[in-house]
Amino acid sequence: MGEIYFDNSSTTKVCRESAEKVAEMLTENYGNPSSLHTLGFRAERAMEAAREKVAAVLSARTDEVFFTSGGTESNNMALFGAAESGAKRGRHIVSTMVEHPSVLKVMKRLEQKGFSVTYIRPDANGEISAEQVSSAVRPDTVLVSMMLVNNEVGSIMPAAAAAAAIKAKKAPALLHVDAVQAFGKLPFSPAKLGADLMSVSSHKIHGPKGSGALYIKKGVHIAPLTYGGGQEKDVRPGTESTPLIAGFGAAAGALPDIREEYAAMAELNGYCREKLLGIGGITINSPGDALPYILNFSMEGVRAETMLHFLSQKEIYVSSGSACSKGRKSHVLTAMGLDGRRIDSSLRLSFSRFNTKGEVDVFTDTLKEGLSHISHM
Amino acid sequence: MREIILIKLGEMVLKGLNRKGFDSVLRKNIARRLKAAGRFDIREAQSTIYITPAEGEAADMDAACGIISKIFGLASFTRACEVEKDLSAIMAASETYLGAELSQAATFKVECKRSDKRFPLKSPEICAQVGGFLLSKFHGLKVDVENPDFTVYVEIRDFAAYVHGTALRGAGGIPVGTGGKACVLISGGIDSPVAAWMMAKRGVELTAVHFASPPYTSERAEQKAVDLLRRVGRYAGSMTMYTVPFAKIQEEIKEKCPQDIYTVIMRRFMMKAAQAIALKEGCSALVTGESLGQVASQTIQAIACTNAAAGIPVLRPLIGMDKIDIINIANKIDTYELSILPYEDCCTIFTPKHPRTRPVLKYVLKAEEALDCGVLLEDCLSHVKTTKIYPDV
């Protein structure tokens, strides 16, 4: 058996459709979409085709999709842009303690700039309730930012409740949803959730790295971070990376039916959970109703990094909740209130449509082998 | 007029009959290291080494100076302008070549050394003539022979005349390769690269041993050791790193020996493994980054236990240094930032919470009886991997 890749929430292998598209854009359809000539026109068409595909997955209009360099840039654009636009109406922001660093560090910066941020703490399962959200939103809240799926444990966040709370409190807030881990995996649309802004990324859905998008609801205006030549309606100027954008579009177009895939993943996840629990000494950290693409667990007494390297020697690739005894512990598991040893021994499996039950079997066998070979903490 | 580098030798000029050997090693070191900056002619005369860009070659003089500043055995060096031995040529050179420095300075003086006594003017006369000329060219510039902002040096030598500013301090020490060969135990921490650098400074050619403990340590930890040695290599030159797989030994010690002397026993194994490699490599000593009292395994009693495992001398250049002084050197040689990258290394895994600070050799030896030391050592030594390390600049 070849390598087993269970680290798809970090990044994914680019699918064939996307790789071919990128190559075509690099070598044949290489024009600048702003150029007036035929090559420019063709590049523009390829880019617009990609926009349609991404918009289709989001059930959004094409003029609501703005291409960026990825999730981090989308988050930064959305948060700084919305905060700047909303500053006249209020200085309060709501977010959670389990957001991605590209949200949390922006929040820290906004705090320095005079905003006050309420961070909602998750429960021991990594989940946040609709009530928590509705009590955090105030009449002077100008921005609510919440991920749709947590990247470390897979918990699904009540983004729709945030939209309802904003309405109920008559707050002037925009709702930003970081949907990087949910995009293409969960059936949702920004319109149904009530989101004004939504971040998505290409390399989590088998597209190339360096590409992503920010959904901006029609009629919503945010201040841009960068200024330039008018591309992406001046929200994100700069010559578009057409190979990566088209590759993103191709990956979005190649996504299988989201509901069918969800069911298949739920089965794979359930199978894996069962096998893990059969080993003994293993605790599942992901909630029962988490996105089935993500499965986080802890091992009794074995340091996660050691197990990670052990598995890596056997060409099985997973991710760990903490890097090293000197490194930082996962802020998500810490916010969930897990004790230090459980965090130090936590591994995250993240699946893709290319994974199989056979791979889960090899993984659990190898894990068992590791547990008996590796010296315990 | 062309630019050259003049090098003054360090303490090796104090050597007696061995001087010749030191000279030839140093010239070889300079030649080898300078290859990275272009092609140069290197010759020596009158206790000075002359580095000249090879005829018709574009050489990177900035890079050459960077390299030369890190070669041990040099007291000082300077970039200089070479001109014919003619007063008007010397004057013109001092105006153009040192123009930038002179226009920044408020006061200056001229110093002259005339080793070619056939030159018609004597040193004080040359100083007066060149100084007068510069005064007429740079308005507002004044002479101050006591404490000038800038000094113009004129050297009249056998082949040509040289004009230059203040010389820069060289790396000092004695040429690498004249002090024998030793094997340094490199972990990834702050201390061992500094220890390696200090021994290279005393002329020692280095071989390195790194202990890797996969899966407890990662590929990045080993890469960190490689990167650190490449930095040390800027001074010490190329070397070979031996990576010894150490997990099995550590697991055995953890399982079968008392926890509180785990580290001492582990370090004794390191000494034995490193010594085996050192002897095969023709090294006469081991080098470690131990500093007395820094951690439990570096008390005088722990070092005594560790030392007893080695037959050849163990050089510990940091033994009496404070951590802050070690860090200062690490910063100077550019290894500190790399050293503090947070990767687990073989020294930090399995460390007991309460290590014995005053281990007694008799009991350590007794505890080791639980292990099949010979087999364990042989096993790890038969899986050693070698990596060639080249300076990273």
Catalytic site residue A324? yes
**Residues of A with Cβ-Cβ distance to B216 under 8 angstroms:** 303, 306, 309, 374-375
**Res. A324: pLDDT tops 70:** no
Beta bridge mates, A329: A322
Burial B353-379 (b: 16+ CB within 10 A, else e): eebbeebebeebeebbeebebeebbee
Whether the pLDDT of residue B85 is over 50: the answer is: yes
Task: Decide if pLDDT at B83 tops 80.
Answer: yes
Residue A353 dihedral angles phi and psi, to the nearest 5°: -65, -10
Nearest CA in chain B to A314: B215
What is the token pair recorded at B295?
A: 């951690």
Q: Which of A305, A310, A375 sits opposite B344 (nearest CB)?
A: A305
Q: Quick check: A155 and A286 in contact, CB under 8 A?
A: yes
Q: pLDDT grade, residue B10 (50/70/90)?
A: confident
Cβ B218–A375 below 8 Å, yes or no?
A: no
State the angle between helix axes of B123-137 and B87-97 in degrees (0 to 180), rounded to the nearest 10: 50
Q: Are B344 and A310 an interchain contact pair (Cβ–Cβ within 8 Å)?
A: no
Contacts of B248 in chain A (CB under 8 A): none
A324 touches chain B (CB under 8 A): yes
For residue B125, what are its two tokens?
């006369």
Return the structure tokens found at A369: 């082998």
| For residues B219-232, average pLDDT | 95
The token duo for B374 is 């010979």
pLDDT of amino acid A107: 98
Which of left, alpha, beta for B282 (phi over 0: left; psi -120 to 50: alpha)?
left
CA distance, residue B348 to nearest chain A CA (Å): 9
Instruction: Name the residue of chain A whose CA is nearest to B255's CA.
Output: A375
Q: Are A99 and A144 in contact (CB under 8 A)?
A: no
DSSP string, A164-207: HHHHHTT---EEEEE-TTTTTTS---HHHHT-SEEEEESTTTTS
**pLDDT tens-digit profile of A191-217?**
999 999 999 999 999 999 999 999 999
Which residues does chain A have within 8 Å of residue B218's beta carbon, measured at their own beta carbons? 305, 309
- Residue A327 confidence (pLDDT): 56
The answer to whether B217 faces chain A, any CB pair under 8 Å, is: yes
Is the confidence at residue A323, as pLDDT, over 90? Answer: no
Give the chain A residue whose CA is nearest to the CA of B213: A306
Are residues A325 and B348, on separate chains, in Cβ contact within 8 Å? yes
Per-residue b or e along A295-311, where b marks 16 or more CB atoms closer than 10 Å to that residue's CB: bbbbbeebbbbbbbbbb
What's this model's pTM, rounded to 2 decimal places? 0.87
CB A200 within 8 A of CB A77: no
Token pair 């100083």 is found at B127
Q: What angle do CA B144, B148, B149 make, to 5 degrees?
A: 140
CA distances from A276 to A4, A62, A325, A370, B386 (A): 17, 43, 25, 13, 39
Residue B331 has a CB neighbour count (10 Å cut-off) of 13
- In a 3-state reduction of DSSP, which class is residue B185? strand
Q: Is the pLDDT score of A333 beyond 80? A: yes
Q: Matching CATH topology for A4-13+257-373 and A16-253?
A: no
Residue-wise pLDDT tens digits, A360-371:
999 999 999 999
- Does residue A375 carry a pLDDT above 90? no
Spatial distance between the Cα atoms of B271 and B308, rounded to a whole number of angstroms: 9
Residues 6+ apart with CB under 8 A from B185: B192, B208, B209, B210, B211, B270, B274, B286, B287, B288, B289
How wide is the angle at C-alpha A238 spanned by C-alphas A232 and A243, nearest 5°?
85
Bridge pairing between strands B40-45 and B142-143? unpaired
Is A119:A93 a contact under the CB 8 Å cutoff? no
Q: State the helix-helix crossing angle for A242-253 and A38-58, rounded to 10 degrees.
A: 40
Reported as a single tens digit per residue, the pLDDT across B189-223 is 999 999 999 999 999 999 999 999 999 998 999 99
Q: Are B234 and B392 in contact (CB under 8 A)?
A: yes
pLDDT confidence of residue B296: 87
pLDDT at residue B348, rounded to an integer: 74
Q: For residues A84-98, give the mean pLDDT.
A: 95
pLDDT at A325: 45
Considering CB atoms only, which of B215, B251, B342 is closest to A309? B215
Cα(B262)–Cα(B255) distance, integer angstroms: 10
Q: List chain B residues with CB under 8 Å of A370.
A: 215
Q: What is the CATH number of domain A4-13+257-373?
A: 3.90.1150.10
CA distance A342 to A188: 33
Distance between CA atoms of residues B266 and B254, nearest Å: 9
Mutate to test the interface with B, among A302, A306, A328 (most CBs of B within 10 A): A306
**Are residues B343 and A324, on separate chains, in Cβ contact within 8 Å?**
yes
Interacting residues of B322 by C-beta distance below 8 A, sequence separation 6+: none
User: Are B344 and A375 an interchain contact pair (Cβ–Cβ within 8 Å)?
Assistant: no
Question: How many beta-carbon contacts under 8 Å exist across A and B?
Answer: 35
User: Hey, are the CB atoms on A375 and B254 less than 8 Å from each other?
Assistant: yes
Q: How confident is the model at residue A322 (pLDDT cuts 50, 70, 90)?
A: low
Quick check: helix, strand or coil at residue B315? Answer: strand
Arithmetic mean of pLDDT, A241-269 = 98
B113 has which bridge partners?
Answer: B155
pLDDT in tens, A281-306: 999 999 999 999 999 999 988 999 99
Of A281, A324, A339, A340, which one is the catalytic site residue? Answer: A324
Instruction: Tell me the pLDDT of chain A averaged across its residues.
Output: 95
Return left, alpha or beta for A280; rule: phi > 0 is left, psi -120 to 50 is alpha, else beta: left
Yes or no, beta carbons of A306 and B215 under 8 Å apart: yes
A375/A90 Cα distance (integer angstroms): 55
Most B CBs within 10 Å, among A319, A347, A375, A377, to test the B interface: A375
Give the integer Cα–Cα distance in Å for A281 and A299: 6
Nearest to B214 among A309, A325, A327 (CB): A309
Q: Is the pLDDT of residue B38 over 70?
A: yes
Q: Where are the domains of chain A?
A: 4-13+257-373, 16-253
CATH T-level topology, domain A16-253: Aspartate Aminotransferase; domain 2 (3.40.640)
Q: Encode pLDDT of B313-369 as tens digits.
A: 999 999 999 999 999 999 999 999 999 987 777 677 788 889 999 999 999 999 999
- Residues 276-315 on A with a CB inside 8 Å of B are 303, 305-310, 312-313
Q: Please check whether residue A122 is in contact with residue A128, taking contact to mean a CB–CB distance below 8 angstroms.
A: yes
Q: Does A375 touch chain B (CB under 8 A)?
A: yes
A348 has a pLDDT exceeding 90: yes
Nearest CA among B230, B227, B235, B191 for reference residue B325: B191
Give the gap in angstroms from C-alpha B109 to the nearest C-alpha of chain A. 54
Chain B residues near residue A303 by CB distance under 8 angstroms: 216
- Geometric angle at alpha carbon A73, from A69 and A75, rounded to 5°: 135
- Secondary element (H or E) of residue B76: strand B74-83
Beta strands (DSSP E) in chain A are 4-5, 65-68, 92-96, 116-120, 141-147, 174-178, 197-201, 212-216, 282-284, 294-299, 316-317, 319-320, 346-350
Give the tens place of pLDDT for each residue, A9-58. 999 999 999 999 999 999 999 999 999 999 999 999 999 999 999 999 99
H/E stretch holding A16 reads helix A16-27
Residues of chain A neighbouring B254 (CB-CB closer than 8 A): 375
| Summary mean pLDDT of chain B | 93
Could you tell me if residue A316 is left (phi over 0), alpha (psi between -120 and 50 degrees) or otherwise beta?
A: beta
| Burial per residue of B125-164, b for 16 or more beta-carbon CB atoms within 10 angstroms, e otherwise | ebbebbbebbeebbeebeeeeeebebbbbbbbbeebbbbb
Map tokens 């922006």 to a residue.
A106
Chain B residues within 8 A of A307 when measuring between CB atoms? 215
Question: A157: which DSSP letter?
Answer: P
Element holding B82 (H helix, E strand): strand B74-83
Residue recorded with tokens 């130090």: A344
Contact B290, B191 (CB under 8 A): yes
ipTM: 0.81
Q: Which residue, A177, A203, A200, A180, is CA-closest to A190? A: A177
- Please confirm whether the linkage preceding B215 is cis (ω < 30° from 0): yes
